[in-house]
């Protein structure tokens, strides 16, 4: 039996699909399941039971002997949310409770951290434990993820295996519900479908030309492949980056989307919204040597390959992974 929290969300639902593909069907889905648009991510998936996140620890107490692994992917991920109490409740304190339960019951734990912990990248993008206390995230979401990473590293008691995964810019199917927080691929597809054109955020940093802000974009199918690797690896506990190791421009992402849609490029620029402008990452790039060093040797989709698959196999067909 495998538990996936955040199961109705973007990465969580893709993880359930990956597990199904690998013939795992005894899966416990944990979420709040209150949004119909998110629940569509789970249609056609094979699983044993849905458990509301508020009821999960009571459920776990009764069923812990059956649980083989927990993928704790549930979190509040809105980077424009500034209510610290929400993040403390859902990202920090819930994760602490999960950590301690996994110790008590002897269950391996993989949890979602984030590249948002790196802030402006002043200290680089190395997933070494020594740098965690010095990082300066740009928003309460990033703070909540880094606060838990710091807490976890400080614990004398730890699950016998644990991994905190620092997701970089993940894109791909099953993000229809994410609205403002969806990837630029999704927003480009929507805008082009509605207007025939795409408006990207203008650069407000003289070191970067418009559209040349650089991020490490990683396709969700590669993400769940890495997470699945840890299901069987179960050693080398610690924090791990999860990107491609190759930063690409937002302009490249938009152009690849136009190509996937077979539509002539029409790209212009608008000002970055004030509420996120001074919290904006202009460059991220994962150092992936740590993951490779423990034996993960599968190649990642290039940006062009990932966007082509996402647009052609999912967005144009309005289907789910």
Question: Among all residues, which ones are annotated catalytic?
Answer: 141, 178
Q: Are 87 and 144 in contact (CB under 8 A)?
A: yes
Q: Centre a 10 Å sphere on the Cβ of residue 185 and count the other Cβ atoms it contains.
A: 24
Q: Which candidate, 13, 40, 38, 39, places its Cα nearest to that of 27?
A: 13
Report, in this order, helix, strand and coil percent for the chain, each rounded to 5. 45, 15, 40
Between the alpha carbon of residue 319 and those of residues 134, 169, 172, 218, the distances in Å are 42, 21, 11, 20
**Residue 169, by phi and psi: left (phi above 0), alpha (psi -120 to 50) or beta?**
beta
The contacts of residue 86 (CB under 8 Å, 6+ apart) are 76
Query: What one-character-per-residue DSSP string does 232-269 give?
Result: HH--S-EEEEES-S--EEHHHHHHHHHHHHT----EEE
Query: What one-character-per-residue DSSP string does 135-147 give?
Result: ---SSHHHHHHHH
The helices-and-strands tally (H runs, E runs) of the chain is 12, 13
Between the alpha carbon of residue 101 and those of residues 49, 61, 105, 235, the distances in Å are 20, 9, 6, 19
């Amino acid at each position: 039996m495998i538990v996936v929290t955040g199961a109705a969300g973007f990465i969580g639902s893709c993880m359930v699909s990956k597990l199904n593909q690998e013939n795992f069907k005894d899966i416990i889905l944990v979420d709040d399941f209150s949004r119909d648009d998110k629940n569509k991510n789970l249609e056609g998936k094979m699983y044993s039971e849905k458990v509301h996140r508020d009821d999960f620890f009571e459920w776990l107490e009764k069923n812990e002997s059956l649980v083989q692994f927990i993928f704790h992917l549930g979190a509040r991920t809105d980077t424009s949310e500034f209510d610290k109490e929400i993040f403390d409740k859902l990202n920090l304190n819930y994760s602490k409770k999960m950590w301690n339960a996994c110790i008590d019951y002897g269950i391996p734990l993989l949890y979602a951290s984030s590249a948002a912990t790196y802030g402006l990248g002043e200290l680089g993008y190395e997933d070494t434990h020594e740098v965690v206390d010095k990082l300066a995230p740009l928003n309460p979401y990033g703070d909540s993820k880094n606060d838990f990473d710091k807490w976890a590293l400080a614990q004398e008691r730890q699950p016998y295996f644990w991994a905190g995964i620092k997701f970089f810019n993940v894109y791909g199917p099953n993000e229809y519900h994410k609205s403002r927080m969806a990837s630029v691929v999704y927003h480009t597809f929507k805008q082009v479908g509605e207007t025939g054109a795409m408006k990207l955020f203008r650069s407000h940093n003289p070191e970067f030309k418009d559209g040349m802000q650089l991020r490490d974009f990683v396709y969700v199918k590669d993400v769940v492949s890495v997470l699945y690797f840890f299901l069987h690896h179960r050693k080398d506990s610690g924090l791990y980056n999860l990107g491609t190791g190759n930063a690409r421009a937002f302009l490249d992402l938009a152009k690849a989307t136009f190509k996937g849609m077979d539509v002539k490029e029409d790209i212009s620029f608008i000002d970055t919204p004030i509420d996120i402008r001074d919290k904006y990452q202009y460059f991220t790039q994962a150092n992936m040597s740590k993951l490779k060093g423990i034996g993960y040797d599968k190649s990642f989709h290039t940006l062009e390959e990932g966007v082509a698959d996402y647009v052609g196999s999912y967005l144009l067909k309005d289907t789910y992974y």
